[in-house]
Amino acid sequence: MFIRSVFFILIAFSLSAVAELRATGDLGVVIERAQGSVLLVNTSRREILAKIEGLGDLSHASVVFSRDQRYAYVFGRDGGLTKIDLLQNKIKKRIVQAKNSIGGAISQDGHLIAVSNYAPGGVKVFSSETLELLADIPAIDEQGKSSRVVGLVDIPGQGFAFSLFDAGEIWLLNVQDIKHPVVHKFKGIGRKPYDALLSENGRYYIAGLFGEPGLALLDLWQTEQGVKRLLPDFAKNDDKLPVYKMPHLEGWADTGNLLFLPAIGQHEVWVVDKQSWQLIKTIPVLGQPVFVMARPDGRHIWVNFAFPDNAHIQVIDVKDFSIIKHLQPGKAVLHMEFTPRGEQVWISVRDDNQLVVYDTASFKELVRLPAAKPSGIFFTSRAYQMGL
């Protein structure tokens, strides 16, 4: 009788253990910016799994994932770098590596985490396993002044690219030998680069310029050609509207041969041909675009806006550049994230304390989930995308 009871207890325990197993492919994290916490979500079941607290200042937070999708690395504005275990719903390790930071990236092989800093400036590189500091790259210009670093992305060849906001430079950091990192500097690329994107194939690094019109383009296949200026004269003499929130180039849309870009200080989305790097279309939209994001199949572009139009979203059809849908999810739409194959889009609505999920084919609202002042949304599928 005793043996039989033990047998059934072991069976029950085994079944319980199996029931608790969790895959990571349909997980994601949502930043709760006002509380220093993140929500762990399941995109297949459209539900919140856990709340993880104690991450510091997340007012401008971003996230990357380990290549096995088990760990999320959260970059906080207070210089915090936090490693979260998505299977155990807890912080694995947290360090404060600077006074003020603005994002980070994970290396091509997944072994290194790079963080870009405002104060004291520069880039620091850590072990993704232990968060041990492996390299410290000060961002010092020719005059000996430290610069804030923005637009940090991973690039092919075990490297990182980033921009120096104050110095007006682009640097490439090769970390194939982390004990002897190599920096390649491109100077005079334009005033105040504020963010950047990497093209889908990892070839082009493009920095947006806030201090003057246009963008700066670096072809990573032909770096000897230096930095090329894109659209330096377009809208140069137009009246600029007050900029309430900067657009984010990592949220710009790269679809096949086209780039869809938010125009700073304009109520427009610009369409650029990637073969000629010429502007081929301007699309009037409701307000100043912040994120211009392509559904994974590239057919539709979802656009959100800065204040005072930040309760709205417009959807552009790439086929004819027409606006086909106008949505109002709620007050202060901050971020959008598509599920890996694009059947859903998750939207953070900060001032309504909600996450809103839409079906992207029918535009039907699927669910609203509670979240405390949500901002960035990051799904684990990003583990397999360059430049994010």
Give the number of domains in the chain: 1
- 206 located within any domain: yes
Question: In this structure, are residues 182 and 163 in contact, taking their beta carbons and an 8 Å threshold?
Answer: no
Helices (H), the chain: 2-20
* pLDDT value of residue 253: 81
Q: What is the pLDDT of residues 91-148, one digit of tens each?
A: 999 999 999 998 999 999 999 999 999 999 999 999 999 999 999 999 998 888 999 9
Q: What is the CATH number of the domain that holds 238?
A: 2.130.10.10
Whether 371 shows a pLDDT value over 90: the answer reads yes
In a domain, 199, yes or no: yes
| Average pLDDT of every residue of the chain | 90
First-to-final CA distance of the chain: 58
Question: Whole domain around residue 178: which residue ranges?
Answer: 102-242
- Average pLDDT over every residue of 292-318: 95
Q: Is the distance from CB of 338 to CB of 345 less than 8 angstroms?
A: yes
Query: Does pLDDT of 355 surpass 60?
Result: yes
- What pLDDT digit, counting tens, does each position of 219-255 carry? 999 999 999 998 887 655 555 555 545 555 566 787 8
pLDDT on residue 382 = 95
Which residue in 145, 146, 185, 150 sits closest to 169, CA to CA? Answer: 185
Say if residue 44's pLDDT is above 80: yes
Q: Is residue 74 part of a domain?
A: no
- Whether residue 310 lies inside any domain: the answer is no
pLDDT of residue 143: 87
Average pLDDT for residues 336-362, to the nearest whole number?
97
pLDDT at 11: 43
Q: Comparing C-alpha atoms, which of 272, 276, 275 is closest to residue 262?
A: 272
Residue 237 maps to a domain: yes
Report yes or no on whether pTM surpasses 0.95.
Answer: no
| Residue 293 counted as domain residue | no
Residue 171 covered by a domain: yes
- pLDDT at position 14 over 80: no
Percent of the chain with pLDDT over 70: 90
Burial class (CB in 10 A: 0-12, 13-18, 19+), 369: middle
Q: What is the largest CA-CA distance in the chain?
A: 89
Is residue 150 a part of any domain in this protein?
A: yes
What is the tens place of the pLDDT at every residue in 158-174? 999 999 999 999 999 99
pLDDT number for residue 244: 45
